[in-house]
Chain A
């Protein structure tokens, strides 16, 4: 009886202090969503490069590694520019702190970038010996967490849409990173060597998109920012571009112009997806109902009204 009643009445707007937000909005600038994109691209590209080398596909390996190096070079520049005091960037590297995903991420990024640069240098200089193989292996090993730790970074905050999406967000980012790495490599690699890159791009779109849908579903009302405002527009654009890109890549990717068109669409979709997630955080922080309502519900479920 009570249940039937409860479904009839829409949830009341929670009380607030003049509608002001309870938590602060992020101070992060556009560098951050671009870093999410570049870091993911670099992380997955390092792994793709290593796998291509192991499979004997040297051309794909070299291209993916150069893409990884480019992403890995842009990443610290974006991160340092975003700081309030860029000259103090090095303070991040004076400590090793497991409770701070940003601190761990700095170390992961530094390790991946160094290993990738060493691998490229080794290859370019035509050196022999085990050093190149070790550098390539390390860049792939650190590339895996580089592609996903940014999800931990966003989830480990008080922003409801990020924190409550903590179980799906890493898979969204993994898919997005795979799609970006595959698409970028397919664009610059002749079609006869780019099969794995094309398949990775399509696979990434599917996995990232499915994870995103699952996240939105599980977030329920807290996922509203993904359907409204700037975040909603980016999310819609991301879905459209990614699906179109995957279709083009699957149908026409075996010819290079098709791979370029499909890859471009997929890269655009991946960037929009990062922007949607970034913007959703601002919208989630701005409205006190996202913060207050779940907390109030939790209190009433556990020990009644305080």
Chain B
């Protein structure tokens, strides 16, 4: 990665003794059942307003994308994919026997060529280690908390909308009728009271896991290994690399397909990484403008 990352004010050193361990989410999409309890729990706890519900026709996804009024969003992807029950590699002889008898009783083929695979994933703000939203915010409304998370201060934000276009994930948006920008706070208020965020608390399968990031990374690595052993070669971690374009996500994922299939950017980069380059060219253009204006006076007054 380029060495010219403009780091946000050094966390945790800026907090001194008040700094807390870096926390976040590990969203294991391989065990998401698409119940949307996270969407509901988030709305209830954070008083996130109602938003337009409609029928999209995009599988069971009728809430579309993250936004000012949706801080958790469950994606549903239906894929035609050759499937085999045996591919799931049962954990025990008992399981294998149960599968075999199920196959005999029902007559289901265990090696279906046109099986349907359902991918479900609960998306959320990534709480980037190098957060573009935080860098570009002109008022300081966006800040990094003592937990390493990124939060908008609703009493400071003036709704300029710069963070909306700076975010490489399309997480932030301006709320209609309110004018300010809203996003996931990783339940900053609950963290202060030693409670886990509402979505993680509500998740019935532990697809959303909250904890200290170092511990979550280890857990995620073990989970990927286990899935690979069982034949799920497409399982991979997304956002768990501290050397990626945003310095690693505070909320990372285990995915079963390419990130773009879930509507996520495959290689996000914090836009401010290129800010030195941007200013260099801007200053050069200013100098050229000055020279051009001077040149316009060479030909005399008329």
Contact = CB atoms under 8 A, between A and B. Distances in A.
A156 B138 contact: no
Contacts, number: 256
B285 to A, nearest CB: 3
A158 B178 CA distance: 24
Interface string B108-150: 0000000000000000000000001001111111000000000
A83 interface: yes
A41 to B, nearest CB: 13
A42 B77 CA distance: 51
A252 interface: no
B31 interface: no
Q: Count chain A CB atoms within 10 A of each CB in B264, B274, B288 and give the residue with the most.
A: B288
A298 B267 contact: yes
Interface stretch (B32-40, B153-161, B185-193, B202-210): B153-161
Contacts of B290: 47, 144
A76 interface: no
A195 B299 contact: yes
B13 to A, nearest CB: 18
B265 A22 contact: yes
Contact of B165 (A159, A193, A306): A159
B55 interface: no
B173 to A, nearest CB: 6
Contacts of B296: 48, 51, 182, 196-197, 199-200, 203
B174 A20 contact: no
B271 A195 contact: no
A254 B299 CA distance: 13
A50 B278 CA distance: 27
Contacts of B17: none
A178 interface: yes
Interface residues of B, number: 78
A94 interface: yes
Contact of B179 (A21, A85, A207, A306): A85
Contact of B141 (A48, A52, A57, A91): A91
A24 B165 contact: yes
Nearest to A298: B267
B160 A174 contact: no
A99 B273 CA distance: 10
B292 to A, nearest CB: 6
Given A84-B160, A166-B278, A204-B292, A57 B301 contact: yes
A35 interface: no
B139 A157 contact: no
A151 to B, nearest CB: 6
A156 B269 CA distance: 11
Describe A's contact surface by its main secondary structure: helix
Nearest to A44: B289
Given A15-B258, A99-B135, A106-B138, A23 B168 contact: yes
B158 A88 contact: yes
A151 B301 contact: no
Interface string B269-302: 0011011011101111111111011111101111
Contacts of A299: 266-267
Contacts of B61: 18
B11 interface: no
Interface string B165-185: 111111111100011110000
Contacts of A306: 236, 258, 266
A232 interface: no
Contacts of A157: 136, 162, 165-166, 271
Interface in B248-278: 258, 260-268, 271-272, 274-275, 277-278
A268 B157 CA distance: 35
22 contacts: A17-B261, A17-B263, A18-B56, A18-B61, A23-B169, A23-B265, A24-B171, A26-B164, A55-B301, A83-B179, A84-B157, A84-B179, A88-B139, A88-B159, A91-B140, A103-B138, A155-B278, A156-B271, A156-B272, A156-B274, A177-B289, A193-B302
Interface of A: 14-18, 20-28, 44, 47-48, 51-52, 55, 57, 82-86, 88-89, 91-92, 94-95, 97, 99-103, 106, 144-145, 147-149, 151-153, 155-159, 163, 166-171, 173-174, 177-178, 182, 191-193, 195-197, 199-200, 203-204, 207, 254, 281, 285, 288, 291-292, 295-296, 298-299, 306
Given A95-B139, A99-B6, A174-B288, 5 more contacts: A22-B265, A97-B138, A157-B136, A157-B271, A166-B274
Nearest 6 pairs between A and B by C-beta? A84-B159, A84-B179, A17-B263, A170-B285, A88-B158, A103-B138
Interface of B: 6, 8, 56, 58, 61, 64-65, 67, 75, 77, 132, 135-141, 156-162, 164-174, 178-181, 236, 258, 260-268, 271-272, 274-275, 277-279, 281-290, 292-297, 299-302
